[in-house]
Structure 1
């Protein structure tokens, strides 16, 4: 393998695969509740990458029982980790976060917590609370781009320096951070995307999730796309960008995902975004064709690491 996958990390650190169980704990987002705006980031829709199960009457324990039952206490199955995925799961009072952490820690058979949030929703008090949680916590932190002009263009509501402060504070407390970045954002060039890789590689970032920008039903981007103001990048361009980006990462970083995973029914364009496995194959082949690998342009120029 020419990049360090999550599966490889799990084998070394956990002794087996990780199974992330998505949970909806009822958090909102400062870009949705009026703290910053009501429209959200241009790529996000009202679902906020969540299941919506809380609003269907399932509290976190009921969601866990429904989704994780077959994985808990089964030695042949992966390690089940709770995944607070919907919206920004440190937004709001610290007391709410403390209560949710207590709920998650009490889930039967849970091995750890992946928590998705924004850098501007983390402060020292919340980071201290996460550090003191009675189970391992890994943060999934949205950056999307290190270009402040791009962040303003997509209505992100924070700058790259905010992300750097959050990562530094988390890492100083021993918390792993997985950064989310997007290729194909409006107005971005390949050079902008590669600069984001350099930005991440210079920070104490544990891992990266890559997403190709797609038009989600109900997002602000849908309006631009329907008006002909935004055209999604071609599949070949995304593959080429990824083959240039991965070598810019540090060799010790985990590449947790290399393309987006639209929820059922939300993808409007491009059609190729639905072919997740095919795009993964294309990226791996492109790395092979170029005889390059993660870290080659950074800290492993001479030989491909054995992950």
Structure 2
């Protein structure tokens, strides 16, 4: 039986970070206003563990919502002590955390390894100097490169978080950042389209007409290109887009920007569409009447598209009478097509 995977989230909103990046309001994004106590942390962990079988589930504890290594060291130890106790009892396999690139050093990494930290996600956001400056990140691209090298050298798994649509950003800059991220050889990547969140400096810029967020279509196009690039280089993308919550929704704390509750599905569907187009042309089927496209069973909905938009697009472009999307269990992230003949 295939093992399930669960990350138990522990939120430490806007802790350890003295900077106010123009897009950031971690208290709203995380949905957590106050710092968590050790007792509350135990309650959260126990609640998650009670709903699963640890023997059949790969369980991690993840610290999110702030720059963990920037927190007072004594406070870090308090939180890590709680998490490490679950690792030592065999109820949790690994601990992960997120932090800023300029809050990583060899000394910090050595200490984190003692506390069973297995994965560190760096909030890189961009590797373009102008974008970092306009976003008030407080560090340059070199800090991300050095931090990633130190993490890889330490043996801790590396995660990279990036954003698209920041001030001064372009699709080419996003692709350039992705190529540099690939050179870092991360274990996992996250892609977040920039949203205008309430009570941020970016909201002020947006209302004054100084910042224009990406349209949903633009964000999907850029994200699908990045996803393709990472897939080609065997780098796992574990999240695309912010997870919707009671706060993170348009009309709530999201003022503007390319928010969609199923953003990743839109991106996966767009990537599948571009692959289908390529296969149709390369297979010489662009003049066919009826065609069959074969994909993994799990990819059928991505191939069909939201509201069948991929089918409609291909029919209109190539003037097909019918398109059949069929499963092929022998495929692994691949697509092929041929003429379809009715018996």
**TM-score, normalised by the number of residues in structure 2:** 0.71
2:235 corresponds to 1:253 = yes
Q: Distance in 1 between matches of 2:198 and 2:81?
A: 34
Q: Name the structure 1 match of 2:45.
A: 64
Cα offsets for 1:162-216 (capped at 9, x unmatched): 0111110010111111101111111111111111011111113212100111111
Relative to its length, the structure with more strand (as a share) is 2
Match of 2:132 in 1: 151
Task: Please state how far the C-alpha of 1:138 moved relative to its aligned partner.
Answer: 0.8
1:288 counterpart = 2:275: yes
> Is 2:108 aligned against 1:126?
yes
Is contact 2:215-2:258 (8 Å) kept? Answer: no
* 1:53–1:69 distance in 2 versus 1, CA, 3 Å: farther
Distance change (3 Å), C-alpha of 1:172 and 1:277 = closer
1:44 to 13, 17, 24: 24
Residue 111 (structure 1) aligned with residue 93 (structure 2): yes
Is the counterpart of residue 268 in structure 1 residue 248 in structure 2? no
- In the alignment, does 2:34 pair up with 1:18? no
Q: Offset of 1:54 from its aligned partner?
A: 5.4
C-alpha spacing 1:271/1:95, structure 2 compared with 1 (3 Å)? closer
Give the aligned partner of residue 223 of structure 1. 204
Asked whether the 8 Å contact 2:106–2:150 carries over to 1, the reply is yes
Q: Distance in 1 between matches of 2:155 and 2:278?
A: 35
Q: Contact conserved, 2:23 with 2:202, CA < 8 A, in 1?
A: yes
**Could you list the runs of 5+ residues in structure 2 that have no partner in the other structure?**
248-252, 280-330, 335-343
- Whether the 8 Å contact between 1:80 and 1:112 is mirrored in structure 2 is yes
The farther-off stretch of 260-269 and 46-55 is 46-55
Q: Which residue of 2 aligns with 1:98?
A: 77
CA pair 137-242 structure 1, distance change in 2 beyond 3 A = same
Which deviates more, 185-194 or 274-283?
Answer: 274-283
Assess, with a 3 A threshold, how the Cα gap between structure 1 residues 43 and 286 changes in structure 2: closer, same or farther. Answer: farther
What's the counterpart of residue 301 of structure 2?
none
Q: What secondary structure is seen at the aligned counterpart in 2 of 1:29?
A: coil
Q: 1:48 offset after TM fit, Å?
A: 6.4
For residues 228 and 211 of structure 2, the distance between their equivalents in structure 1, rounded to whole angstroms, comes to 29
CA distance in structure 1 between the aligned counterparts of 2:241 and 2:278, rounded to whole angstroms: 21
Partners of 2:52 and 2:60 lie apart in 1 by 10
- In structure 1, runs of 5+ residues without a counterpart are 1-10, 32-36, 293-303
Please give the secondary structure, in 2, of the residue aligned with 1:198: helix
Tell me how far 1:145 sits from its aligned partner.
0.6
Q: Equivalent residues in 2 for 1:184-203 (5 A)? A: 184-203=165-184
Aligned residues: 273
Where does residue 82 of structure 1 map in the other structure?
Answer: 61
By relative contact order (CA 8 Å, sep 6+), the higher-ranking structure is 1
Task: Determine the C-alpha separation between the residues in 1 that align with 2:95 and 2:29.
Answer: 17
Q: 1:133-148 alignment to 2 at 5 Å?
A: 133-134=115-116, 137-148=118-129
- Structure with greater helix share of residues: 2
Alignment partners' CA distance in 2, 1:290 and 1:171? 38
- Label 1:65 to 1:27 Cα distance change in 2 as closer, same or farther (>3 A): farther
TM-score normalised per structure 1: 0.78
Do the aligned partners of residues 69 and 291 (structure 1) sit closer, same or farther apart at CA in structure 2, a change above 3 Å counting?
Answer: farther
